[in-house]
Amino acid sequence: MAYDKSIEQRIDALIAAWPDIEKRKMFGGVCYLLNGNICFGIWQEELIVRTDEATAQEMLKREQVRPFDVTGRPMKGWLMVAAAGWPGETDLNDWLVMGRTFALTLPNK
């Protein structure tokens, strides 16, 4: 299944002013990178968000959030968020900021 391009349009509009974000097709979806590190993306109809492990554990308590696992091996600090977890632009922006903020803590690739 291809990723939902309407989500891509929403993300692109929200991050239009963010410098240094690069978009790449990955995982059968699309990912957004900052300094070579993935910060968020789209897989099918879900949002992918990277964050630190402590924040990820807290976010996993939410009903709409699950570990990022498309290969049978969940990735620590990576979340998949169903659309119900970001119904409005403010909600979606909050997730994107979370991923971008985390990516800023990583060394450049």
Range of the domain at 14: 5-105
Per the structure, the count of domains in the chain is: 1
Q: What burial letters (b/e) apply to 50-85, b meaning 16+ CB within 10 Å?
A: bbeeebbeebeeeebbeebebeeeeeebbbbbeeeb
Supply the pTM of this predicted model: 0.93
Residues 51-109: tens digit of each pLDDT = 999 999 999 999 999 999 877 888 889 999 999 999 999 999 999 999 999 999 999 98
pLDDT higher than threshold 70 for residue 1: no
Please state the three-class secondary structure of 84-99 as a single string. Answer: HHCCCHHHHHHHHHHH
What is the structure's pLDDT at 74? 83
What CATH number is attached to the domain comprising 9? 3.30.1460.30
